[in-house]
Amino acid sequence: MAWYSRFIPGRLRRKLSEYRFEIRHVIVLFAVLITFQIILALLQKSLLGGFLQGTQNWFQKYYAERIAIVTSASLELLFQNQSRGGEADADSTNNPMVYSVNVFFKQQLIQRSIEDIRLILIKDRDIYVISNGQALYSYFRGRLQPYRGDSASGADTGVRYFLSVQNDLSAHEKILSRLSNGKTFDVAVPFVPEGEYIGVLYMRISPDFSFLTNEVRANADQLSVVFSALIVVGLIAIFLVSSRAVRERDAMQQALFAEHQDYLENQIRLEKETLFTRRIYHTHHKAEKIIGFIKEDARRMTPANLDELKARVLTYSNFISRIIYDMKWYDQDINTIVNPIFNADINAVIGFIIRHVFLRITSKNEMFEFHLDLEPSIPPVHVNEFIIWEILEPLIQNSIDHGGKPSLSITVRTRFVPVDRRTVITIEDDGVGIRDELLEPGARGIRRLFLEHETSKGGPGLHSGYGCYIAYQLAVGKCGWNLEAENLPGGGCRFTIVVQND
């Protein structure tokens, strides 16, 4: 058990143990978290940039208007004082008002953000532009010339803006401003000395607070880097802990897998041994029966029937040899079953089994009788003839054992289909047929009749439910043929073997 499991409640630990959490899952989780963190940092930077830009635009406008208001108020006081002073000073050279206005304008223009400042006054429907104390003095003395569009003086921008907002200014007497090139504000403040609207104070201001926003962005980037570094450090720590936990779990799983593999190998070996034992037990009675036939033929042997009995005894002996070979090897070499050197005659094998095995047990008139319908043009097959014997004999025996009638008729038929190059072997009887549940698909879609231990006999036995299983394994599994079973409409059952000829 991992060292950290002692800190996890038992119920939660059992719940977590239901899920397999591989190291690749941790890596994917880290990649997702880091990706989300990068996206979050970029999104945060974008939103912060938008917020700072909006805030800067608002404050620039507020700053420009505040400067214009303060400047306008100061000029209104100077204007009012000069109006009350009348004709006191005939010369503008040393006039205090002229000096004050020039100083005031110069102090404003030396600021980096202020580009232009002018008084635009209306008198008798004429426009007068004042940018220094001398022009203001001349205005009071009536010697200032009206504005006639003199672009050399640089007043065109201010006058055009004034003319565009003149109606709003005279109607509402409120400050108006516009952003002309993304960073410069044109501000028009109503000029109302002694409460009378006579024009505007125009100022062109480009306030720059980018150093503040850049500093805020830099601090935000540093904070984001620190936060991301902390997350990465935390993820690395989690990765190290998780990798250690996964290694411990993998080591335990490897040990468990090795133990489970040993267990499965032992089980498979035991099952093979058991299956091999059952197979030997199932086939020993066949050998006993054939040996009995050999003994009987040996006792009946005379010079007259010597050749016939010799050939039959040799066939019996070869079958016994095949049975002994089957008992020696669980998985026989496929070349001993299917091989081009074999040219077995299916009709001959069927005839020998019927005449010299089944009809030697008892009289055919007492229990069963056979009808052979064998097509002579059946081509030979490249299969060991005793394998064919082991396939057909259990199927015929099944019809005898489970016919359920005192007198049973069994028909064995062979047909060759030239178009498909295949031979069809059918074994039919007129008994009670096969139980429906045995014809249902079982494991891997195989009918239960052909599965091991499936039988219609009343009690269990070591060689019950094994004949059809052997026939199916040999025919389908070894020879590559097709074997099916079905009940006939009029009663009885039919086994069909389809042999694909080369």
> pLDDT per residue over 345-395, tens digit each?
999 999 999 988 888 765 455 678 899 999 998 999 999 888 898 899 889
**What is the pLDDT, as a whole number, of residue 26?**
65
Give tens-digit pLDDT for 4-41: 455 556 665 565 555 555 556 667 777 777 787 778 77
Instruction: Output the pTM of the full model.
Output: 0.49
Residue 461 pLDDT grade (very low, low, confident, very high; cuts 50, 70, 90): very low
**What is the pLDDT, as a whole number, of residue 163?**
81
- In the predicted model, what is the mean pLDDT of residues 66-73? 74
pLDDT for residue 108 is more than 50 = yes
Domain 332-500: assigned CATH number: 3.30.565.10
Give tens-digit pLDDT for 417-449: 999 899 999 999 988 888 888 888 887 788 888
Q: Among 33-42, 307-316, 334-343, 431-440, where is mean pLDDT lowest?
A: 33-42
- Nearest partner of 374 among 420, 418, 425, judged by Cα: 425
The residues facing 417 across adjacent strands are 422
Residue with tokens 């036939």: 293
Strand ranges (E), 247-292: none
**What is the pLDDT, as a whole number, of residue 363?**
47
**What is the pLDDT, as a whole number, of residue 429?**
92
What token pair was written down for 11?
């119920």
Give tens-digit pLDDT for 124-153: 778 888 877 787 777 777 778 888 776 555
- Nearest partner of 330 among 368, 278, 377, 371, judged by Cα: 278
Residue with tokens 């008084």: 119
**What is the pLDDT, as a whole number, of residue 459?**
45
User: Do 370 and 399 meet the contact criterion of CB atoms below 8 Å apart?
Assistant: no
Q: Which helix (H) or strand (E) holds 111?
A: none
Residue 457 pLDDT grade (very low, low, confident, very high; cuts 50, 70, 90): low
**What is the pLDDT, as a whole number, of residue 411?**
93
Q: What percent of the chain has pLDDT over 70?
A: 80
**What is the pLDDT, as a whole number, of residue 462?**
43
Lay out the sheet containing 114-123: strands in order across: 126-130, 114-123, 199-205, 185-191, 176-179
Question: Which residues belong to CATH 3.30.565.10 in the chain?
Answer: 332-500
What token pair was written down for 206?
């480009």
Q: At what angle do helices 96-109 and 133-141 cross, to 10 degrees?
A: 140
**What is the pLDDT, as a whole number, of residue 348?**
92
Look at the chain and count its residues: 502
**Whole-number Å distance between alpha carbons of 474 and 480:** 8
Residue 412 pLDDT grade (very low, low, confident, very high; cuts 50, 70, 90): very high
**Whole-number Å distance between alpha carbons of 370 and 55:** 107
Q: 296 by DSSP, 3-state: which?
A: helix
The residues facing 414 across adjacent strands are 374, 425
Give tens-digit pLDDT for 223-282: 777 877 777 787 777 777 777 777 787 788 888 888 888 888 888 777 767 666 666 666
Domain 26-208: assigned CATH number: 3.30.450.20
Q: Among 110-114, 467-471, 486-490, where is mean pLDDT lowest?
A: 110-114
The residues facing 371 across adjacent strands are 411
User: Do 439 and 447 meet the contact criterion of CB atoms below 8 Å apart?
Assistant: yes
User: Do 428 and 411 meet the contact criterion of CB atoms below 8 Å apart?
Assistant: yes
Question: Which residues belong to CATH 3.30.450.20 in the chain?
Answer: 26-208
Strand ranges (E), 131-193: 176-179, 185-191
Give tens-digit pLDDT for 200-238: 888 787 777 666 677 777 777 777 778 777 777 877 777
